[in-house]
Amino acid sequence: MASVCPDTPCSCDCFVSVPPASAIPAVIFAKNSDRPRDEVQEVVFVPAGAHAAGTRLQCTYIEVEQVSKTYAVILSRPAWLWGAEMGANEHGVCIGNEAVWTKEPVGEGEALLGMDLLRLALERGSTAQEALHVITGLLERYGQGGSCREDSEPFCYHNTFLLADRTEAWVLETAGRLWAAQRIQAGARNISNQLSIGTDISAEHPELRSHAQAQGWWGGHGSFDFCQVFSLTQQPVRMEAAKARFRAGRELLQRQQGAITAEGMMNILRNKESGICMDSGGFRTTASMVSVLPRDPMQPCVHFLTATPDPSRSVFKPFIFEVGAAQVPQVLSPTFGAQDPVKTIPRFKTQVDRRHPLYRGHQVALGLMENEQERGQQLRQKQRDLEQEGLEVVQRLLTSQQAPPPQELGGLFQAFVEKESQAYT
């Protein structure tokens, strides 16, 4: 069984604001993806698709049955795997996942990664609740497992998820094939690498309580607290640190209750003091995402993605599912076919350079920010100005002021990626 050692990196933070916590009539979703320091995260657009009966789908490690129809998705994902750390679909469903360890053992056997489950749910779920059912159904059939980093030393975990759409959010927390879910219909909520659902359970695996009772974790009478029953008695150091981040994130949300905006969420993701903006040894925030999901179905959902590490020195760029939306080559990593270390057996015995063009330019910019004060300040100001330009475009769009034509909206992300790339050259 794979275990988590005290210095093993295992942090992420997800946030959601559901009216009346939001400043506008919209659900606002956010996530920092904290991963191994040198791991590259790419932004991938996958169009909607129709699939023949009996089609098989290759995920990171295993195949699953394909469905007849899949939705268009935008994904922020570690470039070596099939799934994603966070993303959205054409129906305004957003999902982020987190690593978690519970009393249920984590095996090294290859199954679906939590990141695979996330992508499958986005491709198949038209609402947050429907996406949740996709995940729990696949968990029951295929299970979750396999190494979650590009390294010959296995690093395995179970997953929690934050799912959101235009009307509500769900927290889904798993322990092997077992799970509990909490519905969020108002207010703000965050998750941070630990179980957080107590007695307020909206849905659960049918064998959740009987299994806990059989293991001697719950007496079978009185209230059932999922977090208390399934959390490890002795928490690894990293999970203790996650508790502090969870409390800090909750406090940052509470300070903005009733006034939470996309920009406010970006500021939370940039908060270094709390550890939410991670930069610790071999670990850092490798990509970030903020989404605005208006209650009005006539208004488009807007998804801001960085495609680069450290949100405090990155640009959140707007993506909209509209006519002309397509893959942006500057944020797509190179591929290595059958020779990719994730596909050769044994896996991960060699390393490849997965840096995409924007990542390379951003690396140079980070070096200047750290080593050349004047030039670095100029670059950081260019980043701020570019991000503000994107926020203003979205503000005009959501207030019906000078809305660009659909073709321009579909190419918005491409345009901002190109502007950022030019700033670095």
Query: Known catalytic residue: 277?
Result: no
What's the CA gap between 96 and 82, in Å, rounded? 15
Q: What letter does residue 62 receive in the DSSP assignment?
A: S
Q: Which is nearest to 174 in space by CA: 81, 222, 112? A: 112
End-to-end CA distance of the chain: 47
List the catalytic residue out of 12, 14, 94, 277. 12
Q: What letter does residue 330 receive in the DSSP assignment?
A: G
C-beta atoms surrounding 166 within 10 Å: 19
Q: Which residues pair with 174 in a beta bridge?
A: 179
SS3 assignment, position 87: strand
DSSP code per residue over 89-140:
ETTS-EEEEEEE-BSSPPP-S--B-HHHHHHHHHHH-SSHHHHHHHHHHHHH
What's the CA gap between 388 and 166, in Å, rounded? 24
Phi-psi label, residue 246: left if phi above 0, alpha if psi -120 to 50, beta otherwise: alpha
CB contact set of 10 (below 8 Å; sequence gap of 6+): 4, 99, 101, 157, 193, 236, 238, 239, 242
Catalytic sites, residue numbers = 12
